């Protein structure tokens, strides 16, 4: 029975470490537990309240929930490793009666103190193997804290890039460039730069899949709201007279197709053409109209 409890604890720790690895350090994977939590909170925010002020909390709240799940599950896993060996394999500070501090709650206390690197020392492992495991748990706790900080520092710049792209598309749609203006070397450069920015956004959705579950707020900074204009201008430039513009239009359309494929494969699952996937992206981020109905038209 002792080995069964210890094995269950070790399995929990490995499960969470695997999830952390796939969520934070694997470039194209999304951790299973973190994805479940973030998707559930995203759907819940859409069902319970459609106001943007409330739905905008879904992403940050989901990140906090995922980190809390990681920390508590790792602590529980280590507590299950400690529990079968209490109180005999531990030393207790004066005033503590070992027989009264040998339950699962006490093991959880030891685990949390060790994971957070507080090191209070009132209950400490004394057996050889456990004395090695405790510092290892402290290292895992430190790594988890560092990973959380790096996760935040990665996601928010990705969100900023996505919103900057949306704002740029909003600027273009509100200036209403004519067909003649688009069919020019300057138009070709503009289309190429849009394709580059869309490629960056696509990579961000691959590298930081959790950024999908963040609302972009104002329509002008919402890529879901503005992506329709990129589709429209790519189609408009497809029959341009200038060969560089036609090439840039093809590159932009390919970038849009790649972005739609990533969104559909990882989040939407429409299994339809790119425009259908981008329409689903717009609806999932709070728009009821199709992507063609963008700001400024």
Kindly give, in sequence order, each residue whose CB lies less than 8 Å from that of residue 266, ignoring residues fewer than 6 positions away.
Answer: 30, 205, 206, 209, 212
Is the pLDDT score of 106 beyond 80? Answer: yes
Q: In this predicted structure, which of 186-190, 260-264, 266-270 has the lowest mean pLDDT? A: 266-270
Q: For residue 297, is pLDDT > 60?
A: no
Chain segment 114-127, per-residue pLDDT in tens = 999 887 788 988 88
Q: What would the two tokens of residue 136 be?
A: 């290892």
> What's residue 19's pLDDT?
87
pLDDT band at 55 (very low <50, low <70, confident <90, very high): low
Cα–Cα distance measured from residue 198 to residue 229, given in angstroms and rounded to the nearest whole number: 13
Taking the C-alpha atoms of residue 270 and residue 276, their distance in angstroms, rounded to an integer, is: 7
pLDDT for residue 158: 94
User: Any idea what DSSP says for residue 60?
Assistant: H
Q: Is the pLDDT of residue 237 over 90?
A: yes
pLDDT of residue 92: 92
170 burial level (CB within 10 Å; 0-12, 13-18, 19+): buried
pLDDT digits over 163-212, tens only?
Answer: 999 999 999 999 999 999 999 999 999 999 999 999 999 999 988 888 99
């Amino acid at each position: 029975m002792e080995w069964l409890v210890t094995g269950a604890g070790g399995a929990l720790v490995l499960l969470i470490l695997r999830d952390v690895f796939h969520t934070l350090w694997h470039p194209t994977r999304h951790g299973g537990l973190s994805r479940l939590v973030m998707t559930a909170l995203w759907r819940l925010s859409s069902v319970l309240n459609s106001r943007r002020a409330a739905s905008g909390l879904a992403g940050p709240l989901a990140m906090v929930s995922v980190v809390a799940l990681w920390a508590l599950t790792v602590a529980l896993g280590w507590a299950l490793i400690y529990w079968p060996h209490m109180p005999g394999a531990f030393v207790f500070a004066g005033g503590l009666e070992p027989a009264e501090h040998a339950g699962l709650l006490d093991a959880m206390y030891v685990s949390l103190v060790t994971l957070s690197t507080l090191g209070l020392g009132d209950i400490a492992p004394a057996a050889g193997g456990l004395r090695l495991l405790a510092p290892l748990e402290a290292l895992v706790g430190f790594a988890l804290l560092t990973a959380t900080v790096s996760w935040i520092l990665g996601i928010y710049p990705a969100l900023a890039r996505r919103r900057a792209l949306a704002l740029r598309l909003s600027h273009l749609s509100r200036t209403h460039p004519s067909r003649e203006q688009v069919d020019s070397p300057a138009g070709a450069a503009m289309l190429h730069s849009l394709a580059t920015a869309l490629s960056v956004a696509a990579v961000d959705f691959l590298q930081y899949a959790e950024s999908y579950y963040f609302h972009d707020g104002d329509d002008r900074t919402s890529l879901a709201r503005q992506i329709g204009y990129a589709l429209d201008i790519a189609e408009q430039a497809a029959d341009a007279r200038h060969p560089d513009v036609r090439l840039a239009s093809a590159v932009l359309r390919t970038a849009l197709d790649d972005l739609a494929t990533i969104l559909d494969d990882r989040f939407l699952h429409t299994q339809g053409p790119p425009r259908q996937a981008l329409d689903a992206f717009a609806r999932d981020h709070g728009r009821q109209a199709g992507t063609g109905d963008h700001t400024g038209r």
